[in-house]
Amino acid sequence: MKAKTISVEIDDFKIKGPAERMVQLFALGMLAQTLPPAANVQPVVSTAVPAIGEYWPLQGGLNGGFVHASGDVPAHYLIFAAKDVGTLEWGGRGVEVNGLSKTDGYTNTQVLIGNEDERAYPAANACAEYQADSHHDFYLPAAAELYQGWLNCPEVFAKDCYYWSSSQRSANLAFLMYFDAGGQLSYGKYDELRVRPVRSVLIEA
């Protein structure tokens, strides 16, 4: 049985596809219009999404893959910086920072760089200061976002070192990612590990 198709035409723009796919695109478009994008998800119109792991022109880095909507955060793509920004301490040893999560690296980074105790958080600061293609909204990835990188494009990360996440384990430990085997462990905040910035973009249909 042949699948039903739907055609949509607006001005000179016309798109045609399977009914189920068109409904999904319509729903995504409605979501983008009705939900205010989270601070870490910047809207962008794109007609061609590059392959995972490839450079995304004008977006500041490499396509890290699609992330489905969760809670107040709409569906988006992760854009990993094309290179690391160094080997740095996580910082704040002995301090359990409130408000950090395993999934929202943008909020984690804002909490760390905006701390009131004037403690330094070098890894988060380096990511917040990173710029590419005129974008200045990079952050230190959360543990789940680094895991997404391992699932989708592990080849763009070094395999002989650990990468810091912005997710905290305790007052003295934070989570890291090892891209050779895909392991996630916790390590001392005073240790210097590799750091890779990331940003998020909402793709409008």
Report residue 106 as tokens. Answer: 């943008």
CA distance 87 to 17: 47
pLDDT in tens, 22-46: 444 444 444 334 334 445 655 554 4
Chain centroid to Cα 77, Å, comes to 7
Output the pTM of the full model.
0.77
CA dist 13 to 18, 119, 205, Å? 17, 53, 12
Is the distance from CB of 163 to CB of 6 less than 8 angstroms? no
Judge whether 55 lies within some domain.
yes
Please indicate, yes or no, if residue 22 is contained in any of the structural domains.
no
Is residue 6 a part of any domain in this protein? no
Q: What is the per-residue pLDDT across 136-150, written as a single tens digit (0 to 9) for each? A: 999 999 999 999 999
The pLDDT, as a whole number, for residue 48 is 82
* Cβ 201 vs Cβ 74: under 8 Å: no
Domain limits for position 90: 35-205
Whether residue 20 is contained in a domain is answered as: no
Name the band, by pLDDT with cuts 50, 70 and 90, for residue 73.
confident
H/E run at residue 200: strand 198-204
Alpha-carbon distance of 138 to 110, in angstroms, equals 10
Q: Is residue 152 a part of any domain in this protein? A: yes
d(CA 84, CA 191): 17
Residue from 84, 101, 104 nearest 41 by CA: 104
Asked whether residue 173 is assigned to any structural domain, the reply reads: yes
Give 89's strand partners.
192
What is d(CA 160, CA 84) in angstroms, rounded to the nearest whole number?
Answer: 13
Contact (Cβ atoms closer than 8 angstroms) between residue 37 and residue 202: yes
SS3 9: strand
The total of structural domains in the chain comes to 1
Higher-pLDDT residue of 72, 129: 129
- For residue 41, the cross-strand partners are 200
Total residue length of the chain: 205
- Tell me, what's the pLDDT at 92? 92
Is residue 18 assigned to a domain? no
